[in-house]
């Protein structure tokens, strides 16, 4: 009996160590820079919080955690950077996340490790790690695309194709899209009670679900709530929200998520 208890204790200790390491690898640290990745036969498209984009080349600052939010516009792709030992599937209609941090400037190859068609072997790119100062300068003049690797004759729908002519960022674009598609008919962004939950303070909050349980409102949950709202219904609210599957394009979803994240610190006004 003592031997069995000892083996069980040893198993639980190693399980806990492995579980903590898994969580550390999957959950991005606070303050991570979020970049949206859209995969399409046979290219990678990157959208940045300032509204800029790049094609096949991902530009990131050194020494800062980077969270990637991935989706696909056609078939399943798999984003793989051997130097960082990260690999994550990009699935049509879904958003998956992965994070990394590059300590020093440099260039690192991107590969697709999920067979995705005749041009699978050409679906390559690069992570270009810049110093923080160089990254800031690059953002000021974000190029339309970078002709590094892979065919660029057919480009996927991107954030900048949705932008008006004036300069605008994803947060402002998300607010406009929310107004255009009718989100504010049921949701508020200032904490005011409405038909649906307020977006104020929603991001990263713990959400109680029907009939029991809870979930953290991260990018994946927010996206799923738009695409399949009936899967995880918030406790205390009716299951009335329609699906926006096929109605919102990936860049629009990205903009809406960034807008919801922007009102994370907003709290309801106290009534006198």
Query: Model confidence over 36-65: pLDDT tens digits?
Result: 999 988 889 898 887 778 888 899 999 999
Residue 22 scores a pLDDT above 80: no
For residue 269, the model assigns a pLDDT of: 55
For residue 211, whether the previous peptide bond is cis, meaning omega lies within 30 degrees of 0, is yes
- For residue 33, what are its two tokens? 């820079």
For residue 168, the model assigns a pLDDT of: 59
**Cα separation, 45 vs 37, whole angstroms:** 6
Residue 156 scores a pLDDT above 70: no
Average pLDDT, the chain: 81
* CATH number of the domain to which 37 belongs: 2.60.40.420
Domain total in the chain: 2
Q: Which tens digits make up the pLDDT trace of 225-260? A: 998 888 899 998 888 888 888 788 777 888 899 899
195: β partners: none
For residue 200, the model assigns a pLDDT of: 92
Q: Which domain holds residue 108?
A: 33-152
* Burial class of 65 by CB neighbour count within 10 A (0 to 12, 13 to 18, 19+): middle
Q: With respect to residue 271, please indicate whether it lies within any of the assigned structural domains.
A: no
For residue 158, the model assigns a pLDDT of: 41
**What average pLDDT score do residues 136-165 get?**
47
Q: With respect to residue 24, please indicate whether it lies within any of the assigned structural domains.
A: no
Q: Which tens digits make up the pLDDT trace of 73-115? A: 888 999 999 999 889 999 888 888 899 999 999 889 999 999 9
CB atoms within 10 A of CB 193: 9
**Cα separation, 244 vs 187, whole angstroms:** 15
- Residue 7's pLDDT band (boundaries 50, 70, 90)? confident
Residue 186 scores a pLDDT above 70: yes
**Residues 218 and 190 placed together within one structural domain of the fold:** yes
Q: Which of 88, 123, 152 is the last residue of a domain?
A: 152
For residue 27, the model assigns a pLDDT of: 79
- Residue 160's pLDDT band (boundaries 50, 70, 90)? very low
- Residue 152's pLDDT band (boundaries 50, 70, 90)? very low
Q: Which of 105, 123, 152 is the last residue of a domain?
A: 152
**What average pLDDT score do residues 142-165 get?**
39
**What average pLDDT score do residues 24-46 get?**
85
* CATH number of the domain to which 225 belongs: 1.10.760.10
For residue 263, the model assigns a pLDDT of: 92
For residue 100, the model assigns a pLDDT of: 93
**Residues 60 and 130 placed together within one structural domain of the fold:** yes
**Cα separation, 224 vs 210, whole angstroms:** 16
């Amino acid at each position: 009996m003592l031997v069995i208890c000892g083996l069980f204790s040893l198993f639980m200790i190693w399980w806990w160590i492995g579980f903590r390491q898994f969580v550390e690898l999957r959950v991005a640290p606070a303050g991570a820079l979020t970049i949206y990745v859209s995969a399409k036969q046979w290219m990678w498209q990157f959208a940045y919080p300032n509204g800029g984009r790049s094609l096949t080349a991902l530009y990131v600052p050194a020494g800062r955690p980077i969270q990637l939010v991935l989706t696909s516009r056609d078939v399943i792709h798999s984003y793989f950077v051997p130097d960082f030992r990260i690999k994550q599937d990009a699935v049509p209609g879904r958003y998956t996340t992965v994070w990394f941090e590059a300590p020093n400037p440099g260039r690192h190859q991107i590969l697709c490790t999920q067979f995705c068609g005749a041009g699978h072997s050409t679906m390559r790119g690069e992570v270009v790690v810049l110093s923080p100062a160089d990254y800031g300068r690059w953002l000021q003049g974000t190029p339309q695309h970078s002709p590094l690797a892979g065919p660029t004759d057919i480009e996927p729908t991107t954030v900048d194709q949705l932008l008006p002519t004036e300069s605008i960022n994803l947060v402002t674009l998300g607010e406009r899209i929310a107004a255009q598609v009718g989100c504010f008919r049921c949701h508020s962004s200032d904490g005011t009670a409405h038909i649906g939950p307020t977006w104020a303070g929603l991001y990263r909050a713990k959400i109680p679900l029907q009939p029991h349980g809870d979930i953290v409102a991260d990018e994946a949950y927010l996206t799923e709530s738009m695409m399949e709202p009936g899967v995880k219904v918030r406790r205390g609210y009716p299951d009335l929200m329609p699906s926006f599957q096929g109605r919102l394009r990936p860049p629009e979803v990205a903009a809406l998520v960034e807008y919801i994240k922007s009102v994370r610190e907003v709290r309801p006004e106290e009534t006198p």
